[in-house]
Structure 1
């Protein structure tokens, strides 16, 4: 079995940034209209042709930036939750925010609210995710046990999934049902600057809330006695992470749909390179998540007659084998101990 070696943060982040930049440039170039890298540079500064400026600034650039933000938040959130809960299976879906946001969007689609305004579906998803977070807060604050937090999140996720299924059953016509299902599969296609403007404030707020949790997560990995000796408020730390994840990931799910496996597998892939330190893993996982989403979005553009491949389908096809490999690797490690 290949042993991965810990490397410095600077080297790791540099490598990940270069990979992300390369994929982003390819994504800007790729499309029905061929545009060279030089023409992209001109268009980014508004000096290309009218058609090139519209294609790059209004269509491709928002799609790339949304992919980077979405993947970044999923990767960061997955690493933060795994460090907080000390559970290698933790990801944003565990606390119910993904399912709740999806429920809000599905209800908006089912009632035809999208015809009122383009922001109705994202707004409904954000409101739903916020309500789920408030419910999680009310229930879990009565008990400091992290297990209660996990079980509450699972309950909210199960309830949201059940209500989503009910919305499918009550869909007024097959076309509406089709729209619901396709939205749930996730996509960056046809996303515009408006979608970017809707989600960015929430993502930034989530980043701000969780910006300094790294050292506290490192301390938590050393045990409860270490945490107490350093004067870390575990309850406050928990809610900073839960609130940050709910706000940021909820907003991105609201715009791009539900996408799985990113927050789960990316931290596992990168953890050996950071010496299994939760604090060092956060930014690396954000870059890794951004890479995975932008790469998956490139794969959705493969030639396909009829309906395009949805983003959530691609991430599942990529993530499932990786997750199986991770499970097998951990099993081998446990057997050799």
Structure 2
């Protein structure tokens, strides 16, 4: 079997796994509903309790798990290819931290009590501001190092301001809400959150998908890529703003969900070969599978305690990150 056939088989396998996990996500929940009955209620014209649970609770949660996982996997693969840094992940350029700060400010100021969508809208606005600041600091001619340094600066400032808001919060309930939101979760999300985030995620996916040929060329170096007709400024724009649009929207509706964008591309890279363009769709499907599986797990492990999705991904992702560091050290030794 040649490389192309193996790659297509991998994509088919990941697509099948994602579809299976999406269906399982629709069938898992605290309400004891048979799987066949839940699927039938989802597509029926009835408006009973089961149909309401499926359309207003489980379907939005499954859709957001699919979309957010694809966003994190795709953006992680794109950033690792663009920055040529295997440890790059979506939070590296400060978008996640800035979106979290926007949401925290909405909770801290009481806007969420007056307007239900104030939290995701504030998070999206903060993500937009962050990407503009990163682009201004790095400049259109800035390289990968400039992007990383600008992202670290924005992340550090956003984290400091978030800590300050927690420190100065006089309302313990607001502080608890901030902490719970920052842990990342898909609980209590509705179709409104899906429709709010979907346009930004789709825009980000399109921009990142356009990077395939450029990422393959960049493996040969900036000078060689430029000689092949690759516009490095356009590549930087697509990578930064594509990540900002998709990851900013994901963080705005679900909070911070870490390590998916780091772990998934690393697992799949040996299976797709040395072409970063092939890693993009594979990582999108892999990320969707991981987030859907993790969200199913949090509903099964401790359904009465509301285990947060971001906590579970961190528990799994942190040891993997340590293993990456150990393997890198052994390789360099």
> Could you say which TM-score interval applies, normalised by the shorter chain?
over 0.9
Aligned-pair CA distance for 1:6: 9.1
* Residue pair 2:72, 2:90 contacting (<8 A) in 1 also: yes
Change (3 A) 1:225 1:138: closer
Query: Which secondary structure does the structure 2 equivalent of 1:300 belong to?
Result: helix
Query: Which secondary structure does the structure 2 equivalent of 1:302 belong to?
Result: helix
Aligned-pair CA distance for 1:137: 1.5
**1:309 maps to what in 2?**
307
TM-score calculated relative to the size of structure 1: 0.93
**1:161 maps to what in 2?**
159
Is 1:235 the equivalent of 2:252? no
User: How is 1:186-201 mapped onto 2 (pairs within 5 angstroms)?
Assistant: 186-201=184-199
TM-score calculated relative to the size of structure 2: 0.94
Output one character per residue of 1:139-172: Cα deviation in whole Å (capped at 9) or x when no partner: 2116422211110110000000000000001112
Is 1:320 the equivalent of 2:310? no
* Residue pair 2:140, 2:233 contacting (<8 A) in 1 also: no
State how far apart, in whole Å, the 2-side matches of 1:275 and 1:12 are: 12
Name stretches of at least 5 consecutive residues in structure 1 with no aligned partner.
none
User: How is 1:1-337 mapped onto 2 (pairs within 5 angstroms)?
Assistant: 8-47=6-45, 50-141=48-139, 143-302=141-300, 304=302, 307-334=305-332
State how far apart, in whole Å, the 2-side matches of 1:191 and 1:81 are: 28
State how far apart, in whole Å, the 1-side matches of 2:214 and 2:6 are: 20
Output one character per residue of 1:237-285: Cα deviation in whole Å (capped at 9) or x when no partner: 0111100110111011000001110111110000000003111000110
Number of paired residues?
331
Aligned-pair CA distance for 1:303: 5.1
> CA RMSD, aligned part only?
1.8
Aligned-pair CA distance for 1:333: 4.6
Query: Which secondary structure does the structure 2 equivalent of 1:31 belong to?
Result: coil
State how far apart, in whole Å, the 1-side matches of 2:194 and 2:165 are: 27
* Residue pair 1:6, 1:274 contacting (<8 A) in 2 also: no
State how far apart, in whole Å, the 2-side matches of 1:134 and 1:264 are: 24
Output one character per residue of 1:293-336: Cα deviation in whole Å (capped at 9) or x when no partner: 1111112113538641111100001111222333334444555x
Task: Decide which moves more: 127-136 or 317-326.
Answer: 317-326
* Residue pair 2:93, 2:151 contacting (<8 A) in 1 also: yes
Aligned-pair CA distance for 1:49: 6.1
State how far apart, in whole Å, the 2-side matches of 1:316 and 1:276 are: 28
Change (3 A) 1:314 1:116: same
Aligned-pair CA distance for 1:228: 1.8
Query: Which secondary structure does the structure 2 equivalent of 1:172 belong to?
Result: coil
